[in-house]
Amino acid sequence: MLRARRVLKTDMVVVNKRGGNGALAMQYFSSRPSDGYTIMTFTNGHALTMALGKSKLKLEDMRPIARGTNDPQILMVNCKKSPYKNSDEFLAGVRSTKLKFGTTNIGGLDHITAYIFAKRAEAMQPAIVPFKGGGELATQLVAGSIDVGVLNLSEASAQIEAGDICPMVVLAADRMAPIPDAKTAKEMGVPVEFATVRGFVTHSGVSDANAAYLEDGLLKAMDHSVYQAYLGASGLDKTSVLGAEAWGAQMKQLLSDLIPAAKEMGLVK
């Protein structure tokens, strides 16, 4: 925020609205005028809240500005205990065996990711074992309590380096440099992309000129070496940062994946 404040030449105040998996933040955002002075951080948590019908905010109410992070979901196994030693063996395994997938919570993004991957891979729907967070999930994967973990690279980097956890499938458009042997789902014929994303939006009524000013300022701020170093420390790179058009397309795709899946899974009341 410090760098963005300098680039945009204005003060910035962070308003934390915790609760409801983003619902309170979206409610506050909706109450603000469309004058270009309110920016909301939009994540897949917000998208899931929308998909579950727990927010009145619609995609058309928001104007994408820029994406800040894109941390792909990765399907990982226990290197020592899993019978699968590469991506192709893993895909064959999920198609023939009902495996135990570890996710963070029931009904969360990881759970829906596992459901959509299995459906599009024409695989058996896995048994879901929920955990409170990625750290616990990674620990239990090493312990052998589950067959597969739905994790981000940063959540299991230590165990990957130690040779305890092996990434099998990356749910992104491209392979990740730190784990080059893990194929993407798409290159194996499974059209699935899911990531932990964080980006910025303003109101749809904001003028083109103001929106362009915000986009340019945020992109310049995130190009700074300090932010780029943060991405590198998280196992990510400069491709995490995207402009408004591409970020908006990802937001639209995310919701188009989540909404029908949530209904099929019975998550929408």
93 and 161 part of one domain: yes
171 and 136 part of one domain: yes
Q: Write out residues in the chain with pLDDT < 50, as ranges.
A: none
- For residue 171, being part of any structural domain is answered with yes
pLDDT confidence of residue 2: 63
Spatial contact of 163 and 82, defined as CB atoms under 8 Å apart: no
157 and 110 part of one domain: yes
- For residue 233, being part of any structural domain is answered with no
78 and 184 part of one domain: yes
3-state secondary structure of 185: coil
Spatial contact of 128 and 116, defined as CB atoms under 8 Å apart: no
For residue range 42-58, list pLDDT tens digits in order: 999 999 999 999 999 99
pLDDT confidence of residue 1: 61
Could you tell me which residues are beta bridge partners of residue 130? 103
- For residue 235, being part of any structural domain is answered with no
pLDDT confidence of residue 18: 82
For residue range 72-88, list pLDDT tens digits in order: 999 999 999 999 999 99
pLDDT confidence of residue 130: 95
- For residue 55, being part of any structural domain is answered with yes
* Domains in the chain, number: 2
> According to DSSP H, which parts of 102-224 are helical?
109-120, 134-143, 153-161, 208-222
Q: Which run of H or of E encompasses 108?
A: none
78 and 175 part of one domain: yes
Provide the CATH number for the domain around residue 109: 3.40.190.10
210 and 133 part of one domain: no
Single-letter amino acid code for the residue at 19: G
Measure the CA–CA gap between 148 and 167, rounded to whole angstroms.
10
139 and 212 part of one domain: no
85 and 138 part of one domain: yes
For residue 160, give its domain range: 74-188
